[in-house]
């Protein structure tokens, strides 16, 4: 039975459709695991046992009477707690929103539920989606299931930890400067930051409007494709939403990567910890064996990413929080208080210079994709740290080290797929990211699927 919690949605869906597996049985099993394991992991802020079982029974009845909706029907999903859920507390991991009950549901959540997904609960996160460690002083700090002394990453640390511990089959995440991909790397799961505007962020509590992305997180690339099939699409309520044709992301996943030209920016080879460097070199050899052509390239404009990213995120985030910073500053965790107050010092010339740097990076990526199909780099340059006693300084240091690797695709709006590439010497996962051109999610998923098939990631099967 324990293995049931670690099956992918791709594996579960045919069992549910053929009535070999009951959505109620599956949901009950995962809820029992949440009761047993999550008091140690802290991946959920608000579990929703009664609602999940009600939705599971409804799904089971629909399927029994021939009204099967598709591969997400009856699949248990964890929802990051910055997605609004009507009538259900949505905290964004913050004391500011501890009693906030939205009167609407985020578009992305509505789509997943309409496809038959079961909402297990609201997942823990780094406060306000503005941190990289998963630390949360209000609702409890999420632990990494591979070793609870280590961080799960952030801000979608509850999502990554729940997936790695078998406490959800699928999960949602958001990514403003790496918050899907960084925890995916630290917990050994798969995460996709889509093209900016492909997935609606309507009903998501904002971090930085021009960099916020919503995306899927899962234990396989094929599951990401299943989720993206449902999550992608135009939303008139989202001003940044793209009105573009949406392909079937699950079709032709097994196309492989023979002949795919993969560029490795030298920028992504600098400052790597030894375990990351070793695993990345091994990954390059493997990708060549799969028939890809790998080329080192130069994108010097990436050196502007840290300045542009920090100014943009801190400036936009502090704008959203400006009034609360005047009246409720003590309700912020110390790390976010420092970060947001520094953002209030951002002036117009700095912000404009950051956007000019951003445009240069957009152009540089555009030029790079004239000659290559995919870009590749480690997701982050460091191995997962153990929690430090001085968590405030640690969070700011993790952001400083990791932001240069993750934020370039937020600034440029390009899609990036984070995949596991092995374990460090401590037995904690390490990840890499495939970066694609604008709206190239289908090819990214194909490349990621080819990688996964030859490097399957085994999750710990344990009660």
User: Which sequence positions are flagged as catalytic?
Assistant: 80, 155, 179
Q: What order do you get walking across the sheet with 374-378 strand by strand?
A: 44-47, 118-123, 76-80, 170-175, 213-218, 190-193, 416-423, 429-436, 374-378, 261-265, 293-297
Asked whether 166 and 459 are in contact (CB, 8 A), the reply is: yes
Collapsing DSSP states into helix, strand and coil, what is residue 32?
helix
Asked if 2 and 30 count as a contact pair (C-beta separation under 8 A), the reply is no
| DSSP alpha helix (H) spans, 86-208 | 107-114, 157-164, 181-187
**What is the signed CA dihedral for 305, 308, 309, 311, rounded to 10 degrees?**
150
In angstroms, the CA 112 to CA 54 distance is: 16
Largest CA distance in the chain: 62
Q: From start to end of 219-284, where are the E strands? A: 261-265
CB atoms within 10 A of CB 455: 14
> Token digits for 293?
């052509």
Confirm if 311 and 354 have CB atoms less than 8 A apart: yes
Return the C-alpha torsion angle 329, 334, 337, 341, nearest 10. Answer: 120
Instruction: Name 422's bridge partners.
Output: 430
Q: What is the DSSP letter of 144?
A: B
What are the Cα distances from residue 37, in Å, to 12, 156, 172, 410?
A: 22, 19, 20, 34
- What does the block give as tokens for 265? 């920016």
Enter the tokens of residue 344: 């209030």
The whole-angstrom separation of Cα 218 and Cα 416 is 15
The residue among 109, 204, 92, 95 whose CA lies nearest residue 155 is: 92
Q: What is the CA radius of gyration of the chain?
A: 20
């Amino acid at each position: 039975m324990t293995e049931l919690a670690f099956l992918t949605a791709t594996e579960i869906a045919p069992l549910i459709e053929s009535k070999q597996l009951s959505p109620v049985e599956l949901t009950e099993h995962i809820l029992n695991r949440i009761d047993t394991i999550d008091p140690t992991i802290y991946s959920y802020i608000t579990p929703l046992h009664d609602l999940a079982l009600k939705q599971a029974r409804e799904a089971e009845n629909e399927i029994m009477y021939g009204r099967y909706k598709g591969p997400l029907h009856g699949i248990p999903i964890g929802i990051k707690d910055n997605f609004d859920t009507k009538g259900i507390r949505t905290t964004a991991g913050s004391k500011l929103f501890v009693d906030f009950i939205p009167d609407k549901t985020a578009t992305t959540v509505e789509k997943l539920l309409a496809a038959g997904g079961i909402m297990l609960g609201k997942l823990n996160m780094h406060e306000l989606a503005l941190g990289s460690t998963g630390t949360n002083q209000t609702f409890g700090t999420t632990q990494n299931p591979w070793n609870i002394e280590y961080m799960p990453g952030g801000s979608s640390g509850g999502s990554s930890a729940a997936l790695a511990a078998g406490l959800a089959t699928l999960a949602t995440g958001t990514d403003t400067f790496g918050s899907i991909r960084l925890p995916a790397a630290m917990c050994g799961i798969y995460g996709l930051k889509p093209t900016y505007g492909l997935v609606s962020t309507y009903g998501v509590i904002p971090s930085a409007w021009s960099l916020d992305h919503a995306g899927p997180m899962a234990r396989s690339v094929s599951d990401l494709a299943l989720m993206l099939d449902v999550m992608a699409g135009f939303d008139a309520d989202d001003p940044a939403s793209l009105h573009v044709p949406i392909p079937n992301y699950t079709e032709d996943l097994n196309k492989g990567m023979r002949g795919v030209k993969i560029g490795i920016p030298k920028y992504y080879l600098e400052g790597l910890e030894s375990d990351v460097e070793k695993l990345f070199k091994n990954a390059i050899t493997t990708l060549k064996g799969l028939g890809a052509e790998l080329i080192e390239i130069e994108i010097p404009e990436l050196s502007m990413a840290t300045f542009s990213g920090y100014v943009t995120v801190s400036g936009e985030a502090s704008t959203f929080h400006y009034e609360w910073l005047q009246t409720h500053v003590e309700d912020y965790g110390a790390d976010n208080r420092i970060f947001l107050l520094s953002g209030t010092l951002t002036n117009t010339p700095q912000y404009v210079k950051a956007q000019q740097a951003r445009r240069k990076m957009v152009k540089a990526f555009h030029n790079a994709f004239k000659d290559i199909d995919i870009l590749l780099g480690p997701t982050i340059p460091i191995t997962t740290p153990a929690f430090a006693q001085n968590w405030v300084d640690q969070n700011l240091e993790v952001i400083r080290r990791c932001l240069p690797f993750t934020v370039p695709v937020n600034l440029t709006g390009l899609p990036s797929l984070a995949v596991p590439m092995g374990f460090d010497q401590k037995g904690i996962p390490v990840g890499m990211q495939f970066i694609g051109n604008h709206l190239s999610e289908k090819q990214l998923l194909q490349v990621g699927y080819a990688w996964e098939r030859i490097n399957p990631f085994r999750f710990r099967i344990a009660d």
